[in-house]
Amino acid sequence: MAQRDSIKGHWLSKSGVRRGIRDTVLAVPLVSDLFRKHWHFLSRLGACRGVFPTRHGAELVAASLGPVGYNENTAIGPEIKGEPSDMRKRDYPVLFWLSRALSEGCKILDLGGSAGTEYFTYRQFLQFPERVIWMVCELPHVVEFGRSLANAVDAPELAFTTRIEDGAGADIFLSCGVLQYLEQDLATCLRMLQPLPPRVLVNRIPLHEGETFFTIQSLLGTVVPYRIQNRQELVDSMIELDYQLVDCWTEKREVVIPFHPQRSVDEFYGFYFALSKVASKDRNWDAIATAHEVCARIAPLWMAERPTQEALQIELSIH
């Protein structure tokens, strides 16, 4: 037993040294960029390198780095929740708006939903009404596995397709952490669905304030083009389709691109869009008007009672 503890301690010590060396390397700007680009890239899931104005340019360079495309060995399952505190903060907005939108006979198109990741995660908290259809649009090998999984477990609402057009007539469009990998942007995907889904929920999207560009991301064995879109460009493209932005949220999450610190991302976004005729029902406009009136009445009162800087200095000098 003593020998085993000694070996374990020795291994932990070596591991700690390795982490210490890595952290030291990543703390030096130029050395960090070199490490991330040449050694860190293929060995870390989600690591990125390069900046390209077009997806085609990213694909050409990606082909020189390794197999291009989705890594079939990278499987993502549902988040299993034991306690309410286990819920990720980024899921609360989606759950909130889904809980308000779900109705009997509702159809959800889940673009890039793996083998039902969001379905199995969210139904731990949502009571699905009768005849709900949760349709996942995915790659062929994922669809094949998803269908066999849905037959093996209790998932009567879950369906799969490889064609986004099969989601026509959906009441809710959902996509979580996938739009950045697609050739089409969000608005283009929605144009393939007629009529347009009244409600659109998207989550975990890397956005920034500069021009839209592409980088290359490692999926541990394969590489893929990865879109970093301009935030306002995405919102404007939805407004052109007669959607209104009802809600927006963010989570702290980094995309570090070596040698391009100005293009790196430190927040991922989520949005709830609704067609104009639906958005008006999702907000209580009378309550909004009242809230503005209350705010206007309180603000002057609070400012009037707030001591001035000069008064604070006099008070401090007295004491």
Distance CA 243, CA 276 (A): 6
Q: What is the 3-state secondary structure (H, E, C) of 305-318?
A: HCCCHHHHHHHHHH
Q: What is the pTM of this model?
A: 0.79
Find out whether the peptide bond into 140 is cis, omega within 30 degrees of 0. Answer: no
Distance CA 179, CA 253 (A): 16
Instruction: Provide the β-strand partners of residue 200.
Output: 173, 273
* Burial of residue 27, with CB atoms counted within 10 A of its CB: 0-12 exposed, 13-18 middle, 19 or more buried: exposed
Beta carbons of 208 and 231 less than 8 angstroms apart? yes
The secondary structure of 179-225 as a DSSP string is GGGSSS-HHHHHHTSSSPPSEEEEEEEEEESS--EEEEEE-SS-EEE
Residues 70-81: pLDDT tens digits?
Answer: 767 666 777 777
Distance CA 181, CA 128 (A): 29
The H or E element spanning position 154 is none
Residue 74: its pLDDT value, please?
66
Residue 284: its pLDDT value, please?
82
Distance CA 52, CA 56 (A): 9
Residue 7: its pLDDT value, please?
46
Instruction: Provide the β-strand partners of residue 161.
Output: 137
DSSP 8-state class, residue 78:
P
Residue 167: its pLDDT value, please?
96
Distance CA 228, CA 230 (A): 7
Distance CA 139, CA 260 (A): 32
Residue 176: its pLDDT value, please?
96
Strands (E), 40-177: 48-52, 107-111, 133-137, 158-161, 172-176
- Backbone φ, ψ for residue 27 (5° rounding): -85, -15
Which residues of the chain carry a pLDDT beneath 50?
A: 4, 6-8, 10-12, 28, 30-37, 312, 319
The H or E element spanning position 245 is strand 243-255
